[in-house]
Copies of this chain bind each other. A is one copy, B any other.
Amino acid sequence: MSETGPLGIIAGAGSFPLALARAATAQGRPVFALLLKGIAGPDLEAYPHAWIGIGQFGAMVAQAKKAGCRDLVLIGSLVRPNLWTTVPDLGGLRVLPDIVRLFRGGDDHLLRGIAGIFERHGFRLLGAHEVAPELLMPKGPLGALRPSEADEEDIALARQAIAALGPYDVGQGMVIGSRRIVAVEGAEGTDGMLDRCATMLAAGRLKWPRGSGILVKAPKPEQDRRIDMPAIGPGTVAKAAAAGLKGIAVVAGSTLVVDVQEVIRLADRHGLFVTGVSAGETP
């Protein structure tokens, strides 16, 4: 299949949608932004765009087709939409029974279903990494520091635990230190989990000295990376530092990194390592 028309970016919150738009533009590919009302920021208003309510599936399809998009990328964090306050349009009403059914499962289930619905409408859903591989975490440390051998053992243990939780559609992220998992990511997200660690550290509930724990993020085994790729950015480093951690480990090639220069600068400043571990190393 050849690339035809502009890249349609369905944009959620955060800085990834803009990073992707810039990367596509740098490749000479035009962008059309479908900005989710109440979720996306105004960053992409500089590009051709339309604001769309999250339930306005009919409008989304119509706008994307009118703009000549065939390829779509879903990117940015998506606060789980509230079905009780969402007002669907006609297209939305038609897919609503599907969506309601999807909502009975976890995030993976939901997002895979949404991808399927787009594909049945003739779009091709791409992962951000397929469009802009330069946004992906490389293997090895980004900044000046690297994990110790003991850290590598902790990282391996956390990755095993994340894999064990895979079938239950919970937890891309954990915080581990000295062989002990102290936090598992749930609906609060990575930032919420790191805030919790900062609170536990301040309250003396985490008994380790500052600079002891590691944030480990890995895709769940069944995760569709076109629609729910683990991601880190400068905000992740800042929160990990506030939680007193010593490092961040993510899976190389399967994690988006936004603003990599700022990530490196902050990691070096706070004395954290940020490292890409290879997907095949899970024991």
Contact = CB atoms under 8 A, between A and B. Distances in A.
A261 interface: no
A168 B178 contact: no
Interface string A164-196: 110111110001001111111111100010001
Interface in A41-89: 79-84
23 contacts: A79-B205, A82-B204, A82-B207, A84-B207, A104-B178, A105-B179, A106-B179, A106-B181, A160-B168, A161-B165, A161-B168, A164-B164, A164-B165, A164-B167, A165-B184, A169-B180, A169-B181, A170-B180, A181-B186, A183-B186, A184-B184, A187-B200, A196-B196
B181 A80 contact: no
Interface residues of A, number: 41
Nearest to A82: B207
A207 B165 contact: no
Please tell me how many copies of the chain the complex holds: 2
Interface string A205-216: 111010000000
Interface in A78-134: 79-84, 103-107
A242 interface: no
A19 interface: no
A171 B184 contact: yes
Interface of A: 79-84, 103-107, 157, 160-161, 164-165, 167-171, 175, 178-188, 192, 196, 200, 204-207, 209
A157 B205 CA distance: 29
Contacts of A82: 204, 207
Contacts of A106: 179-181
Contact of A188 (B104, B179, B200): B200
Nearest to A185: B184
Contacts of A182: 170, 186-187
A103 B170 contact: no
Contact of A187 (B105, B165, B205): B205
Contacts of A183: 186-188
A181 B105 CA distance: 9
A32 to B, nearest CB: 29
